Structure 1
Amino acid sequence: MSSSVGGRWFVVFPDHEAASAVFDRIRNTGCQVVRHASGRPWLAGCWDGSAARLAETGDVRLAVLGVSTLDTGQLRVRARAVRTTSDVETAVQGSAGDHFLLASVAGRVYARGTASGSRRLYRAEVDGVTVVADRARTLARFTGAAVDLRHVAARLVSVATPPFPLDQASLFEGVRAVPPGQAVLLERAGEATERRWWRPPESELPLAEGAEGLREALRAAVRARVAPGQRWAADLSGGMDSTSLCFLAAEAGAELVTLTLDPGAPGDEDLAYARRAAAGLPAGTPHLVFDAADLPSYYTGPEGGLGGGEPEDEPTLGIRDRAQQEHLVGVAHAHGVTRRLCGQGGDQLVIPPPSHLHDLVRREPRLATRHLAAYAAKQRWPRAATVRALADRRPFRAWLAAEAGHITGDRGPAGDVQLGWGLAMSLPHWATDRARESTAELLREAAARTEPLADTRGRHLWLYMARQAGRVALLYDRLGIALDMPFCDDAVLEACLRVRPHEATTPWAYKPLLATAMRGIVPEPLLQRTTKGNATPEWHRGMRAHRRGLAAWLEDSRLVAAGLAEPRALARAWLSPGTLPAHEGPPAEASVALESWLRALERHPVPRYLEEHTHEHEHATES
């Protein structure tokens, strides 16, 4: 979904007179407007008409923005059955895709994103009424909100996997992120509430039955995007996730152009597996291989400099390979392709985290003991630490409070045995005492009020990892890289969660759930891969290539100025990353992303998409 003017965005207004004044602020920046039955503005912004289904009947307005198997006519028919906001979900029941669902029913507003977080909503009080938007920066612009430096400090733990529940927080003061799985209701009087619209299914299906459900969910997710005869680009990394999507797209009749990035890392088998997969696709399918050494290095920005570009709602690791991705987009366009399939999300969804063993040992101790012994040998878990982790029966809030204590202490590497409620947390040695205290304070506040995503550790962490996949899908979409990530569709998430975790993954097989699901679609040798490549060498090359730019940043670092990073230690991390212990590589990468984001916000205080432009039209919904 994109717009020719500044990118996709929207704002949802309550049916309240005060909201009309808020709408006036963006009257000249939105391409499209849809109104409540009262005539007041309900939905305004810019979106691609081909990715929008809008319907009106009586005092009901429905909008489905994103990927959906529903067409406008079907949505219009379903809208006739909507009487209250409690009926809105029935309008999209049974459809596949990845989309926002928005409604105005007799002036009451219902709005939600996705369960995976691949579509997000934010809310803020503006001029006395609550307004909802798909971008935090939109609401920050309305309210003049400053960056919340406490949450910036917390992202020093990780940008890729910030600790729950801080991972879903807005980084702007006064702007609230709506948690995935929750919908916002705006009343005509202007007040707002949140209501759960999605609950995860029980994990009770055996592997064979669950794999059948995953196969059909993935097949539907691909076909929601791909039509016979359409030309699509598709990542073909050599991994099982992207390979599966390529064969499903070919099955759906797409004309593919496959793209493989060869990182050139010693021992990396990605290219060999990608070539085997390409040989199994329909004859004549172009397979384009890119040597990473011939592409722009990590962190290359505009004019070959470091970073740059419009900031997103939060810092993202997507800045590291943005120039590479833009190069691939250009090549795809030259082959007549504008959309591209990507396997992002597969790792997080089809592989339950090892913490499911903490749950299993209490239900089926004999089976759990076999799995634990194999995992401990494979992951080199120390025996004493494994026993302690299994004996730990603290509830989530107690565990989180303890992690807050570790943040201000000196634990060193973040945990060896992965059987807790989350990924163990630590801050890098360049984090200041202020950064540690700020992060610990946020965690203590969360420990006092936050419930886990599920009652058991393994299920909670599985849901958490799925949300991280959704965050990445969202951020790449916002970067303007036209990537479709079917693994992040809610129906795919649900299909994975229905499978017994100790069967969905085992220490003796790699991705058994996906391999079983794709049997008969993907050639068998490709389903037997047990290795996975990594991009660590590319990151080090990128840091070396932009050493001069990083040194310039250090002279007036925003992280240092905010009191979050110690300058000498940060300089060593950026200018000599090869000397860092392995566990501090991700925090070093996080600090570059944070610095880049803070600088970008200074350069672009007004989001480009909110710059005034010619107003295209008020959209009349189909009735």
Structure 2
Amino acid sequence: MGSSPTWFVVLPDREFHPDVMRRLRQRASRVVAHPSGRPWLVGAWSQGELSVAAAGEVRLAVAGTCSLTPDELATRARRVTSAAAVESELSACHGSFHVIASVGGHTYVRGTLSGQRRVYLAAVGGGTVCADRARTLAWLTGAELDAGQLAVRLTGFTAPHPLAGGGLWRGIRAVVPGEALHLATGGQWRTARWWRAPEGELPLAEAAPALRQALREAVALRVRPGEVLGADLSGGMDSTSLCFLAAEAGARLVTATLRWSAPGNEDHAYARHAAELLCSAEHLVFPSAELPAHFTGLDHRRDPGDEPSAGLRDRAGQHHLAEAMRARGAVHRLTGHGGDHVVQPPDGYVHGLLRRSPLVGLRHAAGLRARRRWPWPDAVRMLLDRRSYRTWLAGTTARLRAAPARRVVRAPQGWGLQPQLPPWASDLAVDLIGALLRAAADGVEPLAAERGRHAWIHQAQEAGRIAGHLAYESAATGLLAHSPFCDDAVINACLAARPHEAAAPWSYKPLLAAAMRDVVPTRVLCRTTKDHCGVEWQHGLRVHQRALAAWAEDSRLVAAGVADEELLRRALLSPGLLRGGSAELEATLGAEAWLRDLEAHPVPAHLSPAHAPRPEPDAGGTGRAVPREHEHTHKGAPR
């Protein structure tokens, strides 16, 4: 059983074509007005999911999980004098939420710096509107899919900034995480950065307590003392940290551990040790043989999100876990997703460290080379590389479809991962992504001046995108998944640390280990291994070979022109002989499933009257309920 989906459209303070307003009102259950009386927020949300405060000519709203109470939000709204003052009034807040403001006719909207909560905009009815969901705007505008952005999805999570997470429909633009959208009454719009990364100079002794406090607040925000909370307990440092912080905050935990079948896997042993010390927890262990095989449900069509999901592989298994937690009274679920991406920088940090502290930089470079087994020539090229971000980005176009047979362990080159298309990508896909990369390189700025820091921020934002996928898919199970590591305040706390102390070559996640000392069992904090589910992955492909064969014969990716029919057929029918890797195949299957889901659900489910929350009386400015008008059938998001 799913929860009622929340959605909203933000309108500038101006008149719109009546047909636009009629269509929105037919699908919405709430409307909140600008001070002028014109519609500002149109959508559907339950009490507590979106809070609005009014103060004179100011309207201020937060949507999502936010530490502000309605009274505190009202106090902040009274202090806002301009759109530029909004962020200063919200700087100490934590959680994961959108911010929306109307100040003197000026409209301000932003999501999270992590990218978990996004903002999209499009031209509609003579003006520009924005929404929290791209599919809402695709339905409203009748936009067609963008083949270039679809091709980008085949690169998985190697897509660089600013291509990663772009809008998948023509005419629908995704606001870059960390930037805010400004809408003027005359129809003009612009984006501007609302977030600046911390300096990254705190020593470990200061950064660790700050991270512990940020995580403690992020978890406590999701906990009501005595309430039953589901939580993943993988046996790793990330999920275990959240479990102990949740217990500290008063939650009654139902923890879930997956026991993979590969010999030597140790997750279950570490999880059992942690569970023994979590006295208030009910510990559930799920052997992989007792769960649905990986890729179960390929032929089950679901209402899709704004982009292909990263969770196609174990979607059925996760649903099984959620059902078990719900049966024991859990109302939410905590996941350790994002810890790997957020608490430690990628290896490129050594490039800047060498220039700030040559001796320390050389020592770290030698440690990383030994640990990662980098060839010396690669390591030297990485350290001496002085290319700008624009030059590096333009240069990635030459290696979009490198021969997989040549892949060896290499030191990271440039500003991040080389965007990589699978061998079955079409020539058109290569051309489309090449054009997007060259266009971006003309004017793009990196996320930070130093390449290691840029890669760390981008890595955290990719984690946020996945957290958005997890939240969307988990909502359909009735057990919403929260990823506290992807909260902006937690990311800020991590980025404030000295990179070489947050990711030393001789220890595993030293920043998180120091932050969780005396909170998490020492045995878990000292763990250096990481389990895998490769056996289950291969088994799932064998079990579902017939469904994959059917997809190969009637591929939507081939129809869209971004995949080569014969090469894709070979990959799907003989995955054990792949020249690409598992990540490439998962990205492809996710995109194929998403296209099929769009076909089956041309109108987003959240726009269906059956999914809208029941109208509730207006309370504290949360938006007045609007009457349901006669429904008409409209053209949905195109194939």
The aligned counterpart of 1:466 is: 460
Which stretch of the first structure deviates more once superposed, 390-399 or 571-580?
Answer: 571-580
Alignment of 1:252-401 (within 5 A): 252-282=249-279, 284-301=280-297, 305-401=298-394
Q: Is the 8 A contact 2:387 2:414 kept in 1?
A: no
1:430 partnered with 2:428: no
Matched, 1:225 2:218: no
1:475 aligned to which of 469, 473, 480: 469
Note if contact 2:310-2:469 (Cα within 8 Å) is conserved in structure 1: no
Query: Closer, same or farther in 2 for the Cα pair 1:49/1:269, shift >3 Å?
Result: same
Deviation, structure 1 residue 498:
0.6
Distance, in Å, in 2 between the alignment partners of 1:88 and 1:3 is 34
**Contact 2:158-2:420 within 8 A present in 1 as well:** no
Q: Distance in 2 between matches of 1:15 and 1:621?
A: 23
Change (3 A) 1:224 1:615: closer
SS of the equivalent of 2:79 reads: coil
What one-letter code is carried by the residue in structure 1 that aligns with 2:293?
Answer: S
Number of the residue aligned with 1:551: 549
**1:443-592 matched pairs, under 5 angstroms:** 443-481=437-475, 482-581=480-579, 584-592=581-589
Between the aligned partners of 1:93 and 1:392, the Cα distance in structure 2 is: 37
Q: Displacement of 1:93 after TM fit?
A: 2.9
Moved more, 558-567 or 134-143: 558-567
| Partner SS state of residue 124, structure 1 | strand
Q: Could you say what secondary structure the match of 1:354 adopts?
A: coil
The Cα shift of 1:133 comes to 0.3
**Counterpart in 1 of 2:71?**
73
Q: Following TM superposition, by how much is the alpha carbon of 1:591 offset from its aligned partner in structure 2, in angstroms?
A: 0.9
Displacement of 1:409 in angstroms is 5.9
**Percentage of pairs with the same residue:** 50
Alignment pair present for 1:31 and 2:29: yes
SS in 2 for 1:290: strand
Q: How far 1:3 moved relative to its partner?
A: 8.2
Offset from partner CA, 1:372-422 (integer Å, 9 cap, x none): 112112111111121122222111111111111122665743872124201
Q: Is the 1:239–1:270 Cα contact (8 Å) retained in structure 2? A: yes
Q: CA deviation at 1:425?
A: 2.6
Partners of 2:305 and 2:533 in 1: how far apart?
A: 23
Q: 3-state DSSP class of the match of 1:168?
A: coil
**Any conservation in 1 of the 2:401–2:423 contact (CA below 8 Å)?**
no
Contact 2:341 2:463 survives alignment (8 Å): yes
Measured in 1, the distance between the counterparts of 2:474 and 2:401 equals 38
Shift of 1:329: 1.4
How far apart are residue 453 of structure 1 and its match? 0.5
The one-letter code of the counterpart of 1:101 is V
Distance in 1, Cα, partners of 2:192 & 2:122: 16
Shift of 1:307: 5.0
In 2, are the aligned partners of 1:169 and 1:177 still within 8 Å (CA)? yes
> How far 1:51 moved relative to its partner?
2.7
Q: 1:585 to 1:4 in 2, by over 3 A?
A: closer
Deviates more, 1:497-506 or 1:475-484: 475-484
CA distance in 1, matches of 2:418, 2:300: 29
Q: Residue 19 and residue 79 in structure 1: after superposition, are their counterparts in 2 closer, same or farther (change >3 A)?
A: farther
Q: Which residue of 2 aligns with 1:178?
A: 175
Cα RMSD, aligned residues only: 1.9
SS in 1 for 2:128: strand
Matched, 1:417 2:411: yes
Match of 2:234 among 216, 224, 237: 237
Q: Is the 8 A contact 2:253 2:282 kept in 1?
A: yes
Q: In 1, are the aligned partners of 2:151 and 2:429 still within 8 Å (CA)? A: yes
Q: Which moved more, 1:236-245 or 1:536-545?
A: 536-545
Counterpart of 1:48, as a letter, is S
TM-score (norm 2): 0.93
Check the 8 A contact 2:261/2:533 in 1, yes or no: no
What is residue 196 of structure 1 aligned with on the other side?
193
Matched-pair contact (CA < 8 Å) for 1:213–1:495: yes
The alpha-carbon distance between structure 1 residues 414 and 66, as it changes in their structure 2 partners (threshold 3 A), is farther
The 8 Å contact of residues 375 and 507 in structure 1, kept in 2 or not, is answered as yes
Alpha-carbon deviation of 1:521? 0.7
How far apart, in 2, do the equivalents of 1:72 and 1:414 lie?
55
**Amino acid paired to 2:347:** P
Residue 609 of structure 2 aligns to a residue in which SS?
A: coil
Q: Deviation at 1:95? A: 1.9
Rate the CA distance shift 1:119–1:615 in 2: closer, same or farther, 3 A.
Answer: closer
Structure 2 residue corresponding to 1:120, chosen from 115, 118, 121: 118
Specify the SS of the correspondent of 1:449.
coil
Cα distance in structure 2, aligned partners of 1:425 and 1:68: 35
Mapped to 2, the partners of 1:467 and 1:420 lie a distance apart of 19
2:635 alignment partner in structure 1: none
Structure 1, residues 110-151: CA drift from partner, whole Å, max 9, x if none?
Answer: 111111111111001101111010000111111111111111
Q: Which amino acid aligns with 2:584?
A: P
What is the distance in 2 between the residues matched to 1:111 and 1:622? 21
Q: Does the C-alpha gap of structure 1 residues 185 and 612 become closer, same or farther in structure 2, counting only changes over 3 Å? A: same
Aligned to 1:59: 57
C-alpha separation in 2, matches of 1:219 and 1:120: 25
| Closer, same or farther: CA 114–607 of 1 in aligned 2, 3 Å | same
CA shift for structure 1 position 101: 0.9
User: Whole-Å Cα distance in 1 between the matches of residues 314 and 6 of structure 2?
Assistant: 22
Corresponding position of 1:40: 38
Give the superposition deviation at 1:189.
Answer: 2.0
**Aligned residue for 1:132?**
130
Question: Is the CA contact (8 Å cut-off) linking 1:161 and 1:468 kept in structure 2?
Answer: no
| 1:441 aligned onto 2:435 | yes
Distance apart, 1:53 and its partner CA: 2.1
Matched, 1:108 2:102: no
Preserved CA contact (<8 Å) 2:118 2:177: yes
In structure 2, runs of 5+ residues without a counterpart are 622-639
Matching residue within 162, 165, 168 for 1:168? 165
- Report if the CA contact (8 A) 1:34-1:619 is conserved: no
For 1:221, give the aligned amino acid: A
Deviating more after overlay: 44-53 vs 181-190:
44-53
Match of 2:304, SS state, is: coil
* Contact preservation (8 Å) 1:413, 1:426: no
Deviates more, 1:562-571 or 1:502-511: 562-571
Q: Alpha-carbon deviation of 1:615?
A: 8.0
Deviation at 1:91, TM superposition (A): 3.6
Match in the other structure for 2:246 = 249
> Is 1:593–2:590 an aligned residue pair?
yes
1:505-551 deviation per Cα after TM superposition (whole angstroms, max 9, x unaligned): 11110000000000011121111000112233222222112110110
User: Alpha-carbon deviation of 1:208?
Assistant: 1.1
| CA deviation after TM superposition for structure 1 residue 106, in Å | 2.7
- Aligned residue pairs: how many? 615
- State the distance in 1 between where 2:88 and 2:451 align: 32
Indicate if the aligned counterparts of 2:553 and 2:569 stay in contact, CA closer than 8 A: no
SS of residue matched to 2:311: helix
| Contact preservation (8 Å) 1:115, 1:198 | yes
